[in-house]
DNA sequence: TTTTGGAATTAACCTGGGTTTACGCCAATG
DNA sequence: CATTGGCGTAAACCCAGGTTAATTCCAAAA
């Protein structure tokens, strides 16, 4: 899939899970008044998919789109569910997977709740050294929950005013 | 346990999971400069515990304290882990539990990322009809990531200015 | 090569939350 | 009964992000 292609759209039931083998994608919300917010970036080795769509059979509240050419494995979530039913070993993997997912979400929750935008940006750069270069600042801003203009101002402040 | 008692403290390794049978508790972060942020409220039927402390054996980044008198079951996380190892059926429950947890976290992430404070407040009231009466506005404000003063202003705006 | 369009920056203005201080309220304490 | 202390509210001021609009840069398209 090429940059710009969608894995699934906001509103779809999106019953598939995607394992990103190569490339880069993002999952993002678009609010009723047209504002975009990036839920997460999906580099190599990430899973794309909507828990709401898959666990509850409801439309996904966000979309997934490729930012670079992407090679991905498509896994119907129903296949995973039957696998979990049949194989106790698979359940162990599933358990571990969702534990890790919850752990990541808890970290993101912490940053959104406790850190101001400038510190969220610093944290993002430190935790994702490679990503910053591959992603547009516009998308980083939307990942932080601010406008590209605000991010531009934060970057300017971080340059010279060094004194803390 | 009585109101004011701690289930565990920020910095503890906190290897236990608590099932709240009765009462109400909260989990909350305190930043280096003394600001408080409420991670979540724990009414009857909730689980209290730190994923970071339990899955990675590291100190919990937040505390858990009772807001009302609490009756709770204490479950050492290690006991759960061995149970998961031995019993494939228990794994099913664990899998489902962490799926639900990830789902909740995803919703919280959405609200913190996409909604402005006033809308976060409206959403909190609607989703937790009973809680608002049991919890101090101070704690609600910290749950929303704002100051009690800001919440007071939001509430005032929501009264008369009705016209949308 | 020229043109087009998106990305990033900047400035100006507005708005809403943070901060400080003060006040009224009420329950717990003496 | 008086006092204390936390909570909610309020006013005043400051500041950072949102908004709009203009500018520059650059790469893709014609």
Q: What is the pLDDT of residue B154?
A: 97
Q: What is the pLDDT of residue A162?
A: 46
> Do A98 and B101 count as a contact with CB atoms less than 8 A apart?
yes
Distance CA A108, CA A114 (A): 10
**pTM of the predicted model as reported, rounded to 2 decimal places:** 0.95
**pLDDT of A163 higher than 80:** no
Which of A31, A55, A91 has the CB atom closest to B92's CB atom? Answer: A91
Which of A56, A84, A108 has the CB atom closest to B109's CB atom? Answer: A108
Question: Which of strand D's nucleotides are less than 7 A from any protein C-beta?
Answer: 7-12, 16-21
Percent of chain A exceeding pLDDT 90 equals: 94
Percent of chain A exceeding pLDDT 70 equals: 97
Distance CA B22, CA B44 (A): 5
Characterize B126-163 residue by residue with b for buried, 16 or more Cβ atoms within 10 angstroms of its Cβ, and e for exposed: eebeebeeebeeebbbbbbbbeeeebeebeeeeeeeee
**pLDDT of A161 higher than 80:** no
Distance CA A6, CA A65 (A): 4
- Of B70, B62, B61, the closest CA to residue B43 belongs to B70
Listed in order, strand segments (DSSP E) in B53-121 are: 63-66, 71-76
Question: Which of strand C's nucleotides are less than 7 A from any protein C-beta?
Answer: 7-12, 16-21
Kindly determine whether the C-beta of residue A118 is less than 7 Å away from any atom of nucleic acid strand D.
Answer: yes
User: Can you give the C-alpha Rg of chain B in angstroms?
Assistant: 17
Q: For residue A38, give the 3-state DSSP assignment.
A: strand
Sign of CA pseudo-dihedral B97, A123, A143, B127: positive
Q: What is the pLDDT of residue A159?
A: 83
Q: What is the mean pLDDT of chain A?
A: 94
Q: In this structure, are residues A5 and A66 in contact, taking their beta carbons and an 8 Å threshold?
A: yes
Per-residue pLDDT of chain B (164 residues; tens, 9 = 90+): 999 999 999 999 987 999 999 999 999 999 999 999 999 999 999 999 999 989 999 999 999 999 999 999 999 999 999 999 999 999 999 999 999 999 999 999 999 999 999 999 999 999 999 999 999 999 999 999 999 999 999 999 998 654 33
């Amino acid at each position: 899939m090429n940059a710009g292609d969608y894995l699934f759209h906001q509103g779809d039931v999106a019953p598939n899970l995607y394992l990103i083998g190569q490339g880069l994608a993002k999952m993002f919300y678009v609010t009723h008044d047209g504002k975009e917010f990036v839920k997460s970036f999906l580099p190599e080795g990430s899973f794309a998919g909507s828990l709401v769509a898959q666990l509850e059979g409801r439309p996904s509240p966000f979309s997934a789109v490729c930012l670079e050419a992407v090679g991905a494995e498509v896994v119907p979530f129903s296949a995973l569910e039957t696998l979990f039913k049949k194989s106790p070993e698979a359940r162990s993997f599933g358990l571990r997977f969702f534990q890790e997912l919850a752990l990541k979400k808890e970290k993101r929750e912490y940053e959104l709740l406790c850190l101001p935008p400038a510190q969220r940006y610093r944290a993002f750069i430190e935790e994702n050294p490679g990503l910053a270069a591959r992603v547009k600042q516009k998308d980083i801003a939307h990942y932080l929950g601010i406008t590209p203009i605000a991010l531009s101002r934060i970057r300017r402040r971080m340059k010279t005013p060094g004194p803390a």
